[in-house]
Structures are given as C-alpha cells and as structure tokens.
Amino acid sequence: MDFDSELDASGLNCPLPILRAKKAISALDAGQTLKIIATDPGSVKDFEAFCKQTGNELVSSGEEDGKFVFAI
C-alpha cells in the first residue's frame, strides 16, 4: 500500500499520536493516505474514535512487530 505521508508516534502516549495525526492530516489533500505507527495500546481505540468523529476513513488498523500501524 502506498502512503502519501508517514508519522511515527512510537513511545508516545495518547493524546500526542492523535494530535500529531490531526496536524499531519491537515497538510494532506482529500483522498490522500497517512500511515501512523504507534506503541500505545490505547491508540487502537483512540484512532477508531478519532476517525469516527472527524469523518476520516480508517483504511486499515493492525499490528506489525509489536507496534500498531494505522492507515487513515
């Protein structure tokens, strides 16, 4: 999968990954995809809620090498 931008929020606790994702998304155009890497287990629920509230699509959400990877 190709991404237009990538954000590594490893080691950071909520809400920083969300906050940084929000900023990164604002720099993208509609239809572009942002990849986010996070290590906070709470980020799974948080990104679901974030997408629901902001109308962004959570294209994928999964685990890779002990880290959580999201595509928005």
What are the residues binding another protein (CB under 8 A)? 7, 12-16, 18-24, 26-27, 42, 45-46, 49-50, 53-54
β 60-64/67-71 pair status: antiparallel
Sheet holding 67-71, edge to edge: 5-9, 34-38, 67-71, 60-64
Closer CB to another protein, residue 24 or residue 70? 24
Closest contact distance (angstroms) between CB of 67 and another protein is 17
51 catalytic? Reply is no
Q: Of these residues, 12, 14, 59, 71, which one is catalytic?
A: 14
Q: Phi and psi for 66 in degrees, rounded to 5?
A: 75, 5
* Identity of the residue, 19 or 32, whose beta carbon is nearer to another protein in the bound complex: 19
